[in-house]
Amino acid sequence: MNKFHGRPAAAGTLAAPARRKFGRLAAGMTALAAALAVTGAAAASPAWPQKAVAVVVPFPAGGSTDTIARMLAVPLNEKLGQPFVIDNRPGATGAIGATMVKRAPADGYTLLVASIGVYAVNPFLQKNLGYDPAKDFDLLTVAVRAPNVLVTKPDFPAKNLQELVAYMKKNPGKVAFASSGAGSSDHLTAALFWQKSGTDGLHVPYKGGAPAISDLLAGQVDVSFQNVNAVLQHIRSGKLKALAVTGDKRSAVLPNVPTMAEGGVKDVDVYSWQAVAAPRGLPKDVKVRLHAALVGALNEPQMRQKLAENGFEVVANTPEQFEQFEKQELQRWKGVIEAGKISID
C-alpha cells in the first residue's frame, strides 16, 4: 500500500476539479483585462479632428452658399485646430455635391454646406436623385437665413412691383427671370410669385447665382429673385434696381425697399437659407463637438455683425430643430412645385 495514499495534496498543488475551476477563472480575468485594455486604448485615442475637413459646397464659388461656407471655415479652423477646406462641386442644382457627401465616410471629415434646393426641393424635381435629404444626412444646423430681393436691370420699364405685375400681364411669358438653377430658391420664389400675382414669366436657369447675376448686370435677362447679400453692392451702386424683398418684414440693409406684401402681392414670404450636414452615422461625440463649434462660430459678435451687414440673420438651431424645419420646407415646396406643374427632367 502506498504510504502517501489518503494524504492531503502538498501546498501549491490543486486537485483536478479545483484546477479546472481556477483555469476558467483565470481565462475570464484574462478576457476582462484584454477588454479593459482595448477600452483604455480607445479612450486614449486622439480626438477628432486629426486632419483637414472637406467642406463640400455643391455650387460654384461666389454665390451665397459658398460665401457662408468660407466665412465658417476660418473660425472652425481656429476652434478645432484643423483646416476646413472648401470643395466646390457644382451641378444638377446641388445634387452632384450632395450625393458625393452621402457616399463619404461618416467620420466627421466631410461636411455639406448647402441651401434650400438641396435639402427641400430636389426630391420633387429630379428623377433618380442620388440622395434622400431626409435619410442620408446627419443634419447639424441651419446656419443663416435671408430674404430674397427682386431686382431688375436699371433700364427695365417697371419702377416698382405694381408696375412689374402690370407689365407682365400685358406681356405674358416674355419677362426673363434669371435663377441660380432649376429648383433653386430663386427659381421657386419666382414660381410662387407668378402663382400669387396671376402672371407668367420666362425662367432662365444658370449654374449658380454668380453667373445669373453677371448676365443680369449685362442686360441679358430682365429680372431675378436673388439672395440679398449677393446683389447688395450692385443695388447700392445703382447697377441693379430693387423692387421688393420676400421677407415678412423689410430688410435692415434695404430699409427703403418694400416687402412683397407691401407691394401688393401677398403670401410670398420666402427666406433662402444655408445649412450644414454630414453623412448619416456621424459618431455622437463628433456630432456634439462639431455642432458646438458651428453654433459658437455663428454667434461670435464679429461674425453676427458681418452677417447682418450682408443681410443674413443667424439661425444656429439644433439638429432636432433642423429636422423639423426641413419637414416643413419639404411639404411647402412640394405644394408650390405641384401647383406650378414645375419639372426639370
pLDDT tens-place string over residues 61-77: 988 899 999 999 999 99
Provide the Cα torsion 220, 222, 228, 233; round to 10°. Answer: 60
| pLDDT of 316 higher than 90 | yes
Residue 168: CB atoms within 10 Å: 23
* Whole-number pLDDT of residue 32: 45
* Least confident range of 108-117, 178-187, 197-206: 178-187
Q: How many angstroms separate the CA atoms of 145 and 271, rounded? A: 6
Res. 327 pLDDT band, cuts 50 70 90: very high
pLDDT band at 24 (very low <50, low <70, confident <90, very high): low
The one-letter amino acid code at 14 reads: L
Give residue-wise pLDDT tens across range 260-297: 999 999 999 999 899 999 999 999 999 999 999 999 99
Percentage of the chain beyond pLDDT 90 is 74
Residues 143, 274: contact at Cβ < 8 Å? yes
**Mean pLDDT within 124-142:** 96
Report the percentage of the chain scoring pLDDT > 70.
86
pLDDT band of residue 42 (cuts 50, 70, 90) is very low
Q: Element (H or E) spanning 278, and its range?
A: strand 271-279
C-alpha cell at 32: 476582462
Query: Which tops the pLDDT comparison, 227 or 15?
Result: 227
118: phi then psi, degrees, rounded to nearest 5: -70, -45
DSSP label of 103: T
Q: Is the pLDDT of residue 81 over 50?
A: yes
The domain 53-146+272-340 is placed in CATH, from the list 1.10.10.2840, 3.30.70.870, 3.20.20.70, 3.40.190.150, at 3.40.190.150
Strand partners, 54: 85, 110
DSSP characters for 180-237? SSTTSHHHHHHHHHHHHHT---EEEE-SSHHHHHHHHHTTSSSEEEEEHHHHHHHHHH
Please list, in sequence order, all residues whose beta carbon lies within 8 angstroms of the beta carbon of residue 38, skipping any fewer than 6 positions away.
Answer: none
Residue 43 has a pLDDT of 40
Same fold, 53-146+272-340 and 147-245: yes
pLDDT value at 49 more than 50? yes
What pLDDT sits at residue 7? 42
pLDDT over 90 at 134, yes or no: yes
Backbone angles phi, psi at 154, to 5 degrees: -55, -30
Q: Please give the pLDDT value at position 328.
A: 95
Helix 64-80 vs helix 228-237: crossing angle, to nearest 10? 120
E strands present in 75-182: 84-88, 110-115, 137-152, 176-179
pLDDT (0 to 100) of residue 46 = 59
Asked if 88 and 65 count as a contact pair (C-beta separation under 8 A), the reply is no
pLDDT at 221 (0 to 100) = 97
DSSP assignment of 282-293 equals: --HHHHHHHHHH
Contact assessment for residue 209 and residue 64, using Cβ atoms and an 8 Å cutoff: yes
More confident residue, 83 or 22: 83
Query: Cell digits for 324?
Result: 423639423
Mean pLDDT calculated for residue range 17-43? 45
Mean of pLDDT values over 42-58: 81
d(CA 122, CA 333) in angstroms, rounded, equals: 10
d(CA 67, CA 56): 12
Confidence of residue 192 (pLDDT cuts 50, 70, 90): very high
Q: What is the pLDDT of residue 202?
A: 96
25 falls in which pLDDT band (50, 70, 90)?
very low
The rounded distance, in Å, linking the Cα atoms of 30 and 32 is 5
What letter would DSSP give residue 253? T
Copy the grid coordinates of residue 255: 430699409
Is the predicted pLDDT of residue 93 greater than 90, yes or no?
no
SS3 104: coil
Asked whether residue 333 carries a pLDDT value surpassing 50, the answer given is yes
Torsion angle in degrees (nearest 10) through CA of 127, 186, 312, 88:
50
**Spans of all domains in the chain:** 53-146+272-340, 147-245
Which residues are CB-neighbours of 141 under 8 A, at least 6 positions away? 275, 276, 291, 294, 295, 298, 315, 316, 317, 318, 319, 322
CATH no., domain 147-245: 3.40.190.10
pTM as predicted: 0.77
Number of helices and strands (H, E) in the chain? 12, 10
Q: For the ranges 33-37, 99-103, 221-225, which has the lowest average pLDDT?
A: 33-37
